[in-house]
């Protein structure tokens, strides 16, 4: 029952530690007395299995350890492989345990392994060769007031189990959009990665949060997690409007198109290569549905435009659509000789319908193309009926 209690306490501590994202060097360790001696006997004989001799060498420096235990290193055990008559040194293999007990009178096996992708963190398992049971399983961390080797020494010599105290707080991240992917960094080290909104515990300290999502501009922010407190942050990524709205010319007279897009307005700069003044029309094509819509050009160089470079058209997205399009759309530009039938289309004596509504293009003059400021809107006078 006592052994079961020891293992339960160890696993509970392990669960608490591993459920928090750690930066081990900031731990503080305290020690708790075990209910009963872990390794019994006046002079227990133990074997240490490890990739190198780091634990063996460290424990050999403590007089209270060397005075109490007879210890075999992994090198010594490897040299006795033929005598032990085993294929591999598996601490959970009962045949290997029996061979150690019969050949070297080993009573306990300490299996010491470094944890991958961590710095100075180790796992320790202790086995009894007498009944092939696992007496202990735990992790050992560097801390501000101790090191893993000293903590192992205290465990086996003084029967004091390390309890790692983590200064931690909670971090709540609300993601917009929910597809946003996050990386939490401490210095240059990625502590945690996740997608969407999340709440979790994290070691107190300063962090950098990176957020990104497809078709959205990435965002980076600094934060500080305070011990015992919750830090709440909302990440609202801005769409990469250029990935939603594209502009192209359907007319060889319009070239060198450049765009400046924000959530309210699309600014289109272009060169007009016609020989005469031209009227420029804009149609928005929804790429997903295939539907199209004639746009109301609120200001800029689109009616009676003189040929030349750096002409500008301003389309007020929110005023016309209410919000930025959710699907990918393409704005298509065409040019016709000024004074033609580019603003109004007549069929059978009446205005032609486009998508169920009469086409009315609102225009603003400006044929010099020499200003970034949208000129006042104008409503063009329709041509005389034929």
Is residue 47 packed enough to be buried (19+ CB in 10 Å), middle (13-18) or exposed (0-12)? buried
Question: In this predicted model, what pLDDT tens digit does every residue of 207-250 receive, in sequence order?
Answer: 999 999 988 889 999 999 998 899 999 999 887 877 889 999 99
**Strand duo 168-176 + 230-236: pairing:** parallel
| Segment (H or E) for 51 | none
Given a contact cutoff of 8 angstroms between Cβ atoms, the answer to whether 179 and 214 are in contact is yes
Same fold, 168-236 and 241-358: yes
**What confidence score (pLDDT) does residue 298 get?**
66
Paired residues of 314 in beta bridges = 267, 299
| Residues of the chain above pLDDT 90, percent | 52
The rounded distance, in Å, linking the Cα atoms of 128 and 156 is: 13
Whether 7 shows a pLDDT value over 80: the answer reads: no
Whether 378 shows a pLDDT value over 50: the answer reads: no
Is residue 305 packed enough to be buried (19+ CB in 10 Å), middle (13-18) or exposed (0-12)? buried
Q: Which fold has domain 241-358?
A: Immunoglobulin-like (2.60.40)
**Strand duo 45-49 + 108-114: pairing:** parallel
Lowest mean pLDDT of 6-10, 102-106, 145-149, 187-191, name the range: 6-10
**What confidence score (pLDDT) does residue 386 get?**
36
Question: In this predicted model, what pLDDT tens digit does every residue of 146-187 receive, in sequence order?
Answer: 999 999 999 999 999 999 887 888 999 999 999 999 999 999
* Among the listed residues 241, 239, 236, 240, the one whose alpha carbon sits nearest the alpha carbon of residue 176: 236
Given a contact cutoff of 8 angstroms between Cβ atoms, the answer to whether 6 and 35 are in contact is yes
For residues 346 and 320, the model is more confident at 320
Whether 128 shows a pLDDT value over 90: the answer reads: yes
**What confidence score (pLDDT) does residue 254 get?**
94
Q: What is the DSSP letter of 131?
A: T
**What confidence score (pLDDT) does residue 235 get?**
93
Annotated domain spans of the chain: 2-164, 168-236, 241-358
For residues 66 and 326, the model is more confident at 66
Question: In this predicted model, what pLDDT tens digit does every residue of 268-311 receive, in sequence order?
Answer: 999 999 889 999 999 999 988 889 999 886 689 988 999 999 99
pLDDT (average), residues 361-382: 40
Question: Tell me: domain 2-164, CATH 3.40.50, correct?
Answer: yes
Q: If you average pLDDT over every residue of the chain, what do you get?
A: 81
Model confidence, pTM: 0.46
pLDDT (average), residues 113-133: 88
For residues 340 and 244, the model is more confident at 244
The rounded distance, in Å, linking the Cα atoms of 73 and 47 is: 6
* Among the listed residues 358, 76, 22, 36, the one whose alpha carbon sits nearest the alpha carbon of residue 204: 22
Q: Which fold has domain 168-236?
A: Immunoglobulin-like (2.60.40)
**What confidence score (pLDDT) does residue 238 get?**
83
The residues near 60 (Cβ < 8 Å, ≥ 6 apart) are 66, 71
**What confidence score (pLDDT) does residue 6 get?**
44
**What confidence score (pLDDT) does residue 185 get?**
95
pLDDT (average), residues 244-268: 91
């Amino acid at each position: 029952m006592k052994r079961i209690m020891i293992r339960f306490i160890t696993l509970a501590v392990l669960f608490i530690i591993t459920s928090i994202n750690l930066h081990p060097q900031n731990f503080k360790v305290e020690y708790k007395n075990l209910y009963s001696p872990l390794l019994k006997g006046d002079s227990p004989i133990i074997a240490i299995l490890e990739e190198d001799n780091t634990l063996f060498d460290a424990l050999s420096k403590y007089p209270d350890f060397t005075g109490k235990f007879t210890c075999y290193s992994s090198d010594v055990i490897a040299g006795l492989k033929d005598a032990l008559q085993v294929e591999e040194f598996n601490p959970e293999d009962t045949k290997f345990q029996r061979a150690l007990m019969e050949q070297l009178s080993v009573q306990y096996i300490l299996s010491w392994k470094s944890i991958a992708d961590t710095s100075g963190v180790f796992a320790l398992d202790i086995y009894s060769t007498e009944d092939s049971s696992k007496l202990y399983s735990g992790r050992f961390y560097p801390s501000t007031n101790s090191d893993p080797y000293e903590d192992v020494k205290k465990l086996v010599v003084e029967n004091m189990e390390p309890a790692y105290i983590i200064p931690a707080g909670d971090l709540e991240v609300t993601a917009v959009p929910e597809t946003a992917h996050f990386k939490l960094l401490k210095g240059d080290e990625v502590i945690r990665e996740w997608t969407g909104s999340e709440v979790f515990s994290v070691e107190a300290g300063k962090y950098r949060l990176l957020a990104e999502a497809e078709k959205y501009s990435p965002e980076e922010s600094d934060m500080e997690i305070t011990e015992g407190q919750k830090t709440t942050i909302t990440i609202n990524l801005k769409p990469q409007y250029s990935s939603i709205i594209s502009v192209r010319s359907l007319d060889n007279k319009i070239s060198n198109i450049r765009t400046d897009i924000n959530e309210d307005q699309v600014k289109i700069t272009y060169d007009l290569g016609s020989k005469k003044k031209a009227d420029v029309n804009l149609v928005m094509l929804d790429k997903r549905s295939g539907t199209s819509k004639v746009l109301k050009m609120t200001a800029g160089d689109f009616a009676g435009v003189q040929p030349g470079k750096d002409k500008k058209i301003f389309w007020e997205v929110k005023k016309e659509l209410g919000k930025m399009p959710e699907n990918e759309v393409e704005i298509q530009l065409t040019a016709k000789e000024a004074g033609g039938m580019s603003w109004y289309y007549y069929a059978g004596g009446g205005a032609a319908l486009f998508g169920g509504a009469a086409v009315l293009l609102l225009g603003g003059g400006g044929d010099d193309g020499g200003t970034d400021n949208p000129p006042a809107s104008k409503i063009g006078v329709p041509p005389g009926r034929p």
